Amino acid sequence: MNIVVCVKYVPDSTANPTFNSSDNTVDRVGVDGLLSELDEYAVEQALKIVEAGEGEVTVLTVGPEQATDAIRKALQMGADKGVHVFDDAIHGSDAAATSLVLAEALKKIEYDLIVFGMTSTDGGMGVVPTMVAERLGLPAVTFGSEITANGSTISIRRDGDSATETIEATGPLVLSVTDQTGEARYPSFKGIMAAKKKEVTQWSLSDLGVDASQVGLDAAWTKVSSFEARPARTAGVIVNDEGDGGVKLVEYLASQKFV
């Protein structure tokens, strides 16, 4: 089975992520970045499916030049090759434009299964997998907590707040997995060394036949109008209980409009 895993390069949450003052977009160049943690679970599930049978895993990403680092991490985990869509015109794209670029790139790759993480750690929308499925005319089997592959048939367990569902579909299809599928493997020394020789192909919008007017900040449906740094944390309020601590606590909460 040939599997394509769509991954994202995101700002490191332990760093100091910020916005570009010029256009209010997330700064993905001036801060440290890495493969989105939730996408590691997608890579892991793809590797397990291939290891249980045969085929190869291709990693696809859309992002700035540094996004190659996300591909390299997946290759170190065991993926076979990578594709990086890089074009300055993509900067500022929203989910709709991103799904367009991914869908057009996927049309150039041989696949039986497309795998996503449940969402990106920097955006949290979780809509791109279904958008890509719609553009490609494929079924979407999403938010899988447990994955079972039997030939071209994929079955998932989806855990909701009040019920658990079992969903099955026959590929080609789009699959998204949650962080409940099991720990993602760490790259071994052998995997790190092997990744240096693996192929990473770079495509531009023209390679995909996508017009620049369809993507980028000008084509985005939503934009950040302004931003400001979060205020520094201040010392908390201590309520001295002299028999009326409960009243003082409620009065404080009411003054902050919590109650």
Could you give the domains of the chain?
2-219 (3.40.50.620)
pLDDT for 47? 97
What's the pLDDT score for residue 227? 87
CA 42 to chain centre: 9
Q: What is the pLDDT of residue 27?
A: 82
Q: What parts of the chain have a pLDDT lower than 70?
A: none
Residue-level pLDDT at 157: 95
Q: What is the pLDDT of residue 229?
A: 81
pLDDT score, position 215? 97
DSSP category for residue 109? S
The string of DSSP letters for 39-86 reads HHHHHHHHHHHHHHS--EEEEEEESSGGGHHHHHHHHHHT--EEEEE-
Its pTM stands at: 0.87
Look at residue 218 in the predicted model and tell me its pLDDT: 93
Question: Tens of pLDDT along 29-83?
Answer: 778 889 999 999 999 999 999 999 889 999 999 999 999 999 999 999 999 999 9
Predicted confidence at residue 51, as pLDDT, reads 94
What pLDDT is attached to residue 139?
Answer: 96
